[in-house]
């Protein structure tokens, strides 16, 4: 499963809340993600880290750990839901084609829900009630 891929930014729009000055909304591969204002341009290549991924414990992920766990998920940021993480391709030391899976290079793995003592996930237990 591709969790982190090289993609192209389709569009950049202002944050829907005009009081939010430091963020913009990037549209990448059908996802809308909050990004730092002025850092990305339409047509630019980027790394898209999709929801239900787990970030590795390393220097480039420290910023994200300040705001949540290492699990990437849809998250409300200043009143807007952001679905995933957009990162600069310069994080990698090589040039890649759009669509290339870079999950392993970045140490990103798939989120697996915790299993309870009876072998069910907490989500499955809620469905059975």
pLDDT at residue 90, as a whole number: 92
Torsion of CA 92, 93, 98, 99, to 10 degrees: -60
Number of Cβ within a 10 Å radius of residue 72:
24
pLDDT at residue 76, as a whole number: 82
Tens digits of pLDDT across the chain (129 residues): 799 999 999 999 998 888 888 999 999 999 999 999 999 999 999 999 999 999 998 888 887 777 667 888 888 888 888 899 999 999 998 889 999 999 999 999 999 887 777 666 555 555 455
- For the chain, domains (ranges, CATH) are 4-128 (2.40.50)
């Amino acid at each position: 499963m591709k969790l982190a891929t090289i993609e192209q930014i389709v569009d950049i729009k202002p944050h829907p809340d005009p009081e939010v000055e430091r963020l913009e909304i990037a549209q990448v591969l059908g996802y809308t993600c909050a990004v730092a204002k002025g850092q990305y341009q339409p047509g630019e290549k980027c790394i898209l880290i999709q929801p239900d991924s787990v970030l590795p414990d390393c220097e480039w992920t420290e910023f994200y750990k300040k705001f949540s766990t290492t699990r990437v998920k849809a998250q409300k940021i200043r009143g807007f839901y952001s679905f995933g993480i957009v990162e600069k391709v310069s994080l990698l030391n090589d040039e890649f084609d759009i669509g290339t899976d870079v999950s392993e290079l970045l140490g990103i793995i798939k989120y697996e829900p915790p299993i309870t003592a009876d072998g069910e996930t907490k989500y499955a237990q809620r469905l059975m009630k």
